[in-house]
Amino acid sequence: MTEADPERFRALIETRLAALDEEDRLGRDGQRAVELDQQAVGRLSRQDALQSQAMAKATQARRDIAKRGLKDALARIDEGEFGYCEDCGEEIAVKRLELDPTARRCISCAR
């Protein structure tokens, strides 16, 4: 990994965090409480509305986990530990980090 790589990955991570924040903003409507008034729900049944709400909450939970991982990666960049396997200390392949900048282990240790 070159000296420029951590800053390149910082930009990539910050872009992904911004995208997740935008998805959060857009997903808030789906997590609102389901109303009993059938006029407000339209043709969907209350059960369908509850299922949609549960799916929106599950999606939000996945986004929260992804954001935590990305923020942890930013902290590793700040500490100078980004790109090194936490088990063996070897460099993690740049291609692996490009696919998943939250990766904490090299491919050998991840197996």
Query: Which structure tokens are listed for 95?
Result: 């291609």
DSSP state of 28: T
What tokens does 85 get? 């396997």
Reported as a pLDDT band with limits 50, 70 and 90, residue 30 is low
Q: What angle do CA 21, 34, 26 make, to 5 degrees?
A: 15
Residues 6+ away with beta carbon under 8 Å from 38: 46
**60-81, pLDDT tens digit by residue?**
999 999 999 999 999 999 999 9
Contact (CB, 8 A) for 71 and 77: no
pLDDT 10s digits, 41-60? 555 577 777 787 888 889 99
Q: In one letter, which amino acid is 84?
A: Y
